[in-house]
Amino acid sequence: MDPAPDVQLVLAYDKILPLHSSVLARHSKRFASILTQELSAFLCQRAKQQGVTIRWRIELRGELDTMGQLIQSDSSGTMIPLNENGKVPTKYFDHYTGIIGTFYGQELTLNDFSIQSALEDAVGLIEVAEYLGSVAAVSKNIDLALVKQGQVLFRSIANNPLEWVDLAVRITSEIIFKEAVVHLVGRWNEWSSTQKSTLGKDVKRVCVKHADRLSRQRRALELQMGVMYPGGITHPPGAAPVKRDTYAADIMMWMALSLFRQWLIQHVIQEKTLRAKDGGFALYKQLSEAGDKYLSRQTIAPFFRNFPMTKKGQNVFENHLLELKEVIKETVSKSGIMESESALDMGKHSVPWLTCTVVDKTDFPWVKKGPMLGQKRTREEMNETEENEVDWDEDLDANADNKRARE
């Protein structure tokens, strides 16, 4: 037989919950501080015989009249938020009953009419949980209720990561935090200094670290594309005597390489790469798709007016350019910059920014980090910077492996 309730929680005149002190104290720090023997009522034998079990009565500060209006004296404040009509929002009581319900093993539900309503519900619930000192007891329930939204949740995070990352930290949600940081970093150039200042200290540190890492990754890729030579046009010193005719046979590929580098430099000068608002996403996407996505036949028509060729010569040139694009495409692919670490279904809901940021457990603000771990990560970042420096001699050796068919 379950024990009788010994606590009466009064949320409003018509919202009185009979509860158990042991349950409340186990899940809430605030209730634990209130439900002490010193603050309990002493029940005489007669009261017990009459079935009286309530030893604590807890009320929200401030009272409501029969119309739901707040009755408040000048000497006391209120913790009840009012709407513009001076009435207590019904959802506030729902949040209290929802949080307390989880103490008794009940599933927490959110208003899933829209993701915005679900977010508002989640924020309201966590505010009540923070007040009660029971975040640890309900955070996973809130996290689970949100994650059940699936792609609707992930689309909302992509659109508003600044708001979602704050909630993620408050409920210690690994999934939501990872997703928010991926989009925060991918859109880092979009955010103003004011928007960035709204991030918590630990969150901003994580975002700055990954934004810097992504910048180094993009810079290394652009440098690699700028100095690469497709295999077959380089001639090592140990090869047979290199004569003028040898280079003449490669002239079409050299012309294609020159045109590509001119096109790339124009985009760098116009700040359409790592300094662009989209972080260079549009450019890298073109490079990763190759084909006619850039420097198409129509685009290079002016080139042939300045450097006229026979129809056959144009076909040879275009084939070399397509061949070069495939080499570039493979280079972009190997860099991993177009990979997605987001849980968002990019096939249905693609976004115009990079989502390749890898967030690991050491990035979670609620994970304690020792000094040795911090020192190790610093050394790793230094090594990563060194690895991104492109060596010209090594680059030429690597390009020798890029074989191409001769026309």
* 137-185 pLDDT, tens digit each: 889 888 988 998 899 999 999 999 999 999 999 999 999 999 999 999 9
Q: Which of 33, 29, 3, 38 is nearest to 18 (CA)?
A: 3
Question: Rounded to the nearest 5°, which phi and psi values hold at 374?
Answer: -65, -40
Query: Does residue 199 or residue 141 have the better pLDDT?
Result: 199
Q: Mean pLDDT over residues 337-349, rounded?
A: 96
Report yes or no on 201 lying in a domain.
Answer: no
Task: Compute the distance between CA of residue 216 and CA of residue 353 in angstroms, rounded to an integer.
Answer: 16
Domain end residue (candidates: 315, 335, 355): 335
Report yes or no on 250 lying in a domain.
Answer: yes
Number of domains in the chain: 2
Report yes or no on 112 lying in a domain.
Answer: no
Q: Return the structure tokens found at 81.
A: 């938020």
Report yes or no on 401 lying in a domain.
Answer: no
pLDDT at residue 63 above 50? no
pTM for this one? 0.77
Report yes or no on 308 lying in a domain.
Answer: yes
Highest mean pLDDT among 41-45, 248-252, 321-325: 321-325
Domain end residue (candidates: 106, 133, 162): 106
Residue percentage of the chain with pLDDT more than 70 = 82
Q: Mean pLDDT over residues 8-30, rounded?
A: 89
Q: Mean pLDDT over residues 121-130, rounded?
A: 89
pLDDT at 89: 53
Task: Compute the distance between CA of residue 61 and CA of residue 180 in angstroms, rounded to an integer.
Answer: 37
**pLDDT band per the 50, 70, 90 thresholds, residue 369:** low
Residue 332 C-alpha from the chain's centroid: 22
pLDDT at 75: 36
pLDDT at 73: 44
pLDDT at 24: 95
Q: Mean pLDDT over residues 354-359, rounded?
A: 97
- What rounded mean pLDDT belongs to the chain? 84
CB–CB of 274/222 below 8 Å?
A: yes
CB–CB of 365/197 below 8 Å?
A: no
Domain end residue (candidates: 273, 303, 335): 335
Report yes or no on 177 lying in a domain.
Answer: no
pLDDT at 296: 94
Please give the span between the terminal C-alpha atoms of the chain, in angstroms, as a whole number.
Answer: 89
Report yes or no on 316 lying in a domain.
Answer: yes
DSSP codes, 109-178 = ---TTSHHHHHHHHHHHHHHHHHHT-HHHHHHHHHHHHHTTTHHHHHHHHH-HHHHHHHHHHTT-HHHHH
Report yes or no on 61 lying in a domain.
Answer: yes
List the domain range (segments joined by +) for residue 282. 220-232+244-335
pLDDT at 93: 82
